[in-house]
Amino acid sequence: MEYVYAAMLLHSFGKDVTEESMKKLVSAAGVEPDEAQIKAVVSSLKGVDIDKVISEAQVVASAPQAAPAQQAPEHKKEEHKEEPKPEEAAAGLSSLFG
């Protein structure tokens, strides 16, 4: 990822993104350049319009995100507890007192 950042930095300064320029930049940062990584980044950027890619990425990043679909709430069947009729309640209470 550091080498992609190096390529972006070179591009932002108007420099050509070449193996040599990336080696110099990475070395200037005090890091031993990984030539295989540098070659991979440089070869993958050949023919790429970096400005176009950046502008497209900004459009995608600034696009409003769609809200997740809301699920309709499940209607739970209300459990109807039948309340005891007053006579039944009284009969139940009377059994407590004998």
Evaluate whether residue 34 is within a structural domain.
yes
Evaluate whether residue 71 is within a structural domain.
no
Q: What is the CATH number of the domain that holds 36?
A: 1.10.10.1410
Percent of the chain clearing pLDDT 70 (strictly above):
64
- For residue 28, which of 43, 13, 46 has the smallest C-alpha distance? 13
What pLDDT sits at residue 7? 93
CA distance 21 to 64: 38
Evaluate whether residue 39 is within a structural domain.
yes
List average pLDDT for each run of 10 residues in the chain, which is 98 residues long: 92 94 95 95 92 85 68 63 64 58
Q: How many domains does the chain have?
A: 1
Evaluate whether residue 81 is within a structural domain.
no
Evaluate whether residue 89 is within a structural domain.
no
In this prediction the pTM is 0.57
Around Cβ 38, how many Cβ atoms within 10 Å?
Answer: 22
Evaluate whether residue 37 is within a structural domain.
yes
Task: Give pLDDT tens digits for 76-87.
Answer: 666 666 666 666
Evaluate whether residue 57 is within a structural domain.
yes
First-to-last C-alpha distance (Å) of the chain: 86
